[in-house]
Copies of this chain bind each other. A is one copy, B any other.
Amino acid sequence: MASIEPFHVVELMERARALEQQGRNIIHMEVGEPDFGTPAPVIQAATQALQRQSLGYTSALGTAALREAISNFYQTRFRANVPPERIIVTSGASAALLIALSLLVSPEDEVLLTDPGYPCNRHFVSLLNGTPICMPLDHTTAYQPTSDHVVKYWSEKTRALLLATPSNPTGTCISPETLNLIAEAVKQRRGNLVVDEIYNVLTYDLPASTILSYRQDAFVINSFSKYWGMTGWRLGWLVVPMGYERDAEKLAQNLFISPPTLAQHAAIACFHEDTLEEMEMRRLEFQKRRDLLIDGLSSLGFGINAKPSGAFYVYANVSGMTQDSYTFSLETLEKTGVAMTPGLDFGAHAPDQHVRFAYTTHYSQIEQALERLFSHLRS
C-alpha cells in the first residue's frame, strides 16, 4: 500500500473547488474526461433497454451482440479481422488491464512501462506482485518507447511491455512501423505486448490505427470512456491473442462476474452511423482545441517538443519557467484560475519539468485560459 501514491491532481482539484466556492471562475484543464458526455443515441438506447431488456448478469465475456458489434467495428473501421471470440467486454479499461496482467504476470516478473505514463499501470503490476520497470522517455522519441528501449530494458525476468498509443499524458503516438518493430523485439524475447488503445480513434495528424490490423499476438485494451464520452458507464474491452480466450474467461468470471448490463445494451448504439458521425464532429472539435492550445502555450514559453497527435492532452515542458511543476500548477491555479495536472502524477522521470493540459473544455474556455496565462506569465 505504501507504494501507491494518491493522484496529486486531487489536491489541486480540491483547491480548485474551494476557489470556486469563493466565487472564483476556474477553467478546468486538469480533467482526463471529455466534456461532450454520452452521445444522445446511447442515452436513447439505454432508456429503451431499461424498459425492454434483461438487466441481469450477462455472460462474463459480455453480450454476444456487443462483442459482434466491436468485431464489426474493427473490420469496417480498420480492416482488422478480430473475431468476437477474442473480444472480452469488461468493466472499463481498468478491468481489461487487470485481466491482461493477471494472465501474464507472476510474482517477481518484471513489466516494462513508460515514464511518463498512466499512473495506475504500475499499481496493477504491484498488486500482482510483479515489478514495474518504468522506462524514462523524453521528447527525442516523442515520449514513446522504440525497439531500442526493449533491447535496453528487457531482462531475464521481463514478461511483458505495456504501452499506450496515443498516450496519456503526452498525446503522442507510435507509428505502425515502430510499433511492429517493438512487437517483434518483444516476441523474440518470448514476452507479451499489451497495447492500450483507449484513444486510438482519437488522432489528428495521423490516421487512426490499431495494432490488430497487422498483428494478432498483442493484448489490446480499449474503452467506451474516451472516444465515446462514456466514462461513468465503466465499459471497455480486451482483445486477447488466440489461445488465451479460455483463461481470460475464467478470470473475468471470477473477478468480475460480468460487465455492467445496461451499459452493454446502450453501447451497441455507439456503432450506429449517426453516433459515429457525431463522434467525428467531436474529433474535429478536439483538433481545433489542440491546435489553439499548442500555438498558445508555445508562444507563452511552454515547451512542446513532441507534437501531440492524439487523445486530448498536451504534455508541456515548463523548465523555462519553474524548477517545480507541482508548485507552479498550484500557484498558477491560485493566480489565474487555470487548473492543470502536475507531472508528478505520471511518473518519476522529470516530473518537475512537466505539466499536462487536457483540452476537455470548450474552445472559448481554452482561449480564455491562454489569455489569463498570458497576463500572469508576462506580468
Contact = CB atoms under 8 A, between A and B. Distances in A.
Interface in A325-342: none
A107 B129 CA distance: 7
Given A232-B56, A261-B233, A251 B128 contact: no
Contacts of A231: 55-57, 257, 261
A152 B256 CA distance: 32
Contacts of A92: 256-257
Nearest to A259: B234
Contact of A50 (B5, B46, B58, B246): B46
A182 interface: no
A231 B33 CA distance: 27
Contacts of A4: 247, 250-251, 254
B6 A250 contact: yes
Contacts of A247: 1, 4
B107 A232 contact: no
What is the copy number of this chain in the assembly?
A: 2
B37 A255 contact: no
A6 B54 contact: no
Interface residues of A, number: 54
A111 to B, nearest CB: 15
B55 A234 contact: no
Interface string A23-52: 000000000010001100001001100110
B107 A127 contact: no
Contact of A55 (B38, B119, B249): B38
Given A43-B50, A120-B254, A234-B256, 14 more contacts: A5-B250, A6-B249, A6-B253, A38-B55, A50-B50, A91-B91, A95-B256, A127-B128, A127-B255, A231-B257, A232-B258, A234-B261, A260-B263, A262-B263
